Structure 1
């Protein structure tokens, strides 16, 4: 058995792991690279293996950095099955088609306004490509073993990161490999905690927050403060939020604050078609979250839904006080970019980040104090207040990851730390080495290892 790291090395994005088993090949996760340009360019490079030779794909979850390369993989010849949970399948219908649509729209916008260096600017893939790849999906229930390839058994266990997210366990009867994907948090207010798994012979563990501990502040209290202070200035609160997960946590928090009378009666808008569709799935997958039917209903109606482009444009031209929740979470594209262009230059307004900001993204630049960011070929000044709600993260922090690993009853022969910036990955490697005494390393991009 041979494992090659095609992504999520030295970065939190581009999750792709190629496992060769005899004459068969399986890809665990199939994500897009995001952030720095040199990483995004990898999305345009050919894979080191012909897509038509890959026999199957298994997804840990639906986020674009784990699933977003699938439409291109299928367009280039992949014809195998894509295994995942039911909720991941439903979310990929939303996220992948929207990703293709956004890329088409951004290419059209760049060509119309002439700010791209490419003539013409082209999308990486289209909505049609995304719709075509969805025909390859084969959902599987949690905790039930299935044959992913001849002689290779797979099992999906709840990881608590988002609806449908799973730990992927693969075994050929002699060796087993566990892919953590993104590990959720034990005390998330919406999602159920990650299950404790017994371990495996080989482990790939994420390290997004491998060198950090989440703030112990009350997230609801901080959200209340930011909303009220911005409203008192007559400002607009813009929240770039991942359409699946963070948008719903924010809406649940706003629902609670409204119910308890802790925030001003100001309009709240959810301006993300993806988030709107994803929120409805919380009713269909109640066994994966903590919310009662009443709380689920309250969350779904905590904000006014903005569907049409014309309505979104009207929001960008509007005035506060109001709250706008819009994708994408790292401000890399989507409607939130237009809102930032409109509201970031005004000191009365606030930009609130509620999730991880990968290096090289607009979100990371704004959060780290950039005075301007480039949007649609223009340098937009950042004069609005910038705040973060770290405690709403859906990723386990370093202490929570270590606690999860301590629950293993089988010590891995070797652990690979992935899906983290270099400093975070090495910090987690060091803790696993010193605190657990496990054989552990941080793999390099395209590195291949033999799993004895």
Structure 2
């Protein structure tokens, strides 16, 4: 019996994760994410998948981030009718993220039509909040490290990957081979998340390479945050932090709460302006036993900020001239409330826009951290006079050395290692390191490449 693996996303890019595993008797889709960044990537979201959706038997989800889960509403709307398996925290986070994603798509289409800045007449959303609701009915919670049997000798296990709450790597056992998909690997020694599970054996490995050609800044994150907040407070400005709603926002609030508690920054008001991040923070508290923090640290993390839920409250933040810290989604400034704050705060030299992790090519975040002097938002350009920086050390992805460290747990090389979820230079740099340092056979797949595994 042949086992085929086809790469339908997250190759040549860090977005759009979709891997189709075909055992002959079963078709399994691992992850179902949105493409983000460059326009030529985003256009792939509108193209039908090159597979009969009714032929897919199950979807396995590594974690909740939309570059891994965000296409699910379109998948179900277009004909997929089977189960979607994920860990319990991932199921609950997707309830938050997918509703929000559909809502944002509807709102952005509405605004594009109202203000006429879309080339499409009329602009329509990729999917709606109602589509997201229908997709969520297909979710099935699967606990970490428990066997899930999918029939015809196919068995699956979810293992903790660190990265964000509920994130997993996935082991797929077929009668012929064991296939391991890393998902997004977290970092060893994270302030908030558990270490990625060490794995000793797999016949085939799919490993991410987001930071495959880089090492994280070893500087102390709290010292850097304190330096920025103190400087901006003295000049009467606002620190605006575009942040990923799930994982990164909670990590930032943890560091800010510690800095305030220790008196290392002034007692500025802190606002969490993202309904999605607020809901994720409440889940962070609910699943506090799944991360490193004590109950007291979890409570302080969730209480340090004022939660801003309504659009009216969000608008009032931009009218308030008092120095403050605003944490708002999205983390790459691709959509959401952060865009309105950027229009308000970027043109003022007193302010500081502080990113907190990887910025994909083609996003506003990448443009800003690489020195853009003006940025396009809602069809108009806005001057960049505020300071801009990126807290690279807060990334939730393992860097090149940390990936190699995790791979060294293997007692024997996989038959083949597929390097994915990275921009081309990052994936190829990791391929070279694995080949030279570990002596493993590796390949970097291209979009829609398929491989016969056994």
Same fold (TM over 0.5): yes
Cα offset for 1:408?
1.2
Q: Which residue number in structure 1 is paired with residue 343 of structure 2?
A: 341
Distance in 2 between residues matched to 1:129 and 1:410, nearest whole Å: 44
- Check if 1:308 corresponds to 2:320: no
Cα offset for 1:325?
0.2
Q: State the secondary structure of the residue aligned to 2:137.
A: helix
Provide, for residues 69-104 of structure 1, a one-character-per-residue CA deviation record: whole Å limited to 9, x for no partner.
Answer: 000000000001101100000000000000000000
Provide, for residues 7-34 of structure 1, a one-character-per-residue CA deviation record: whole Å limited to 9, x for no partner.
Answer: 0000000000001011321100000000
Q: Which residue number in structure 2 is paired with residue 44 of structure 1?
A: 46
Cα offset for 1:145?
1.0
Q: How does 1:232-311 map to 2 (within 5 A)?
A: 232-311=234-313
Q: How does 1:395-434 map to 2 (within 5 A)?
A: 395-434=397-436
Q: How does 1:385-396 map to 2 (within 5 A)?
A: 385-396=387-398
Q: Which residue number in structure 2 is paired with residue 82 of structure 1?
A: 84
Q: 1:168 aligns with which of 153, 167, 170?
A: 170
Q: Which residue number in structure 2 is paired with residue 177 of structure 1?
A: 179
Q: Are the aligned partners of 1:317 and 1:342 in contact in 2 as well (CA < 8 Å)?
A: no
Q: TM-score, with normalisation over the residues of structure 1?
A: 0.99
Distance in 1 between residues matched to 2:152 and 2:107, nearest whole Å: 41
Cα offset for 1:149?
4.2
Q: State the secondary structure of the residue aligned to 1:30.
A: coil
Q: Which residue number in structure 2 is paired with residue 136 of structure 1?
A: 138
Distance in 2 between residues matched to 1:347 and 1:176, nearest whole Å: 55
Q: Identify which range, 204-213 or 409-418, moves more after superposition.
A: 409-418
Q: State the secondary structure of the residue aligned to 1:164.
A: coil
Provide, for residues 319-374 of structure 1, a one-character-per-residue CA deviation record: whole Å limited to 9, x for no partner.
Answer: 24111000000000000011001110111110001011000000000010011111
Distance in 2 between residues matched to 1:204 and 1:358, nearest whole Å: 20
Distance in 2 between residues matched to 1:40 and 1:199, nearest whole Å: 36
- Check if 1:31 corresponds to 2:33: yes
Provide, for residues 89-147 of structure 1, a one-character-per-residue CA deviation record: whole Å limited to 9, x for no partner.
Answer: 00000000000000001111111111111111100000000011111011111001111
Q: Are the aligned partners of 1:61 and 1:67 in contact in 2 as well (CA < 8 Å)?
A: yes
Q: Are the aligned partners of 2:149 and 2:155 in contact in 1 as well (CA < 8 Å)?
A: yes
Q: Identify which range, 169-178 or 151-160, moves more after superposition.
A: 169-178
Cα offset for 1:398?
0.3
Q: Identify which range, 430-439 or 308-317, moves more after superposition.
A: 308-317
Q: TM-score, with normalisation over the residues of structure 2?
A: 0.99
Q: CA RMSD in A?
A: 0.8
Q: State the secondary structure of the residue aligned to 1:78.
A: coil
Q: Are the aligned partners of 2:25 and 2:152 in contact in 1 as well (CA < 8 Å)?
A: no
Q: Are the aligned partners of 1:56 and 1:149 in contact in 2 as well (CA < 8 Å)?
A: no
Q: How does 1:67-216 map to 2 (within 5 A)?
A: 67-216=69-218
Equivalent pairs, count: 452
Provide, for residues 276-335 of structure 1, a one-character-per-residue CA deviation record: whole Å limited to 9, x for no partner.
Answer: 001111222123211111110000011111011000011122224111000000000000
Could you tell me which runs of 5 or more consecutive residues in structure 1 were left unpaired when the two chains were aligned: none
Q: Which residue number in structure 1 is paired with residue 220 of structure 2?
A: 218
Q: Are the aligned partners of 1:201 and 1:412 in contact in 2 as well (CA < 8 Å)?
A: yes
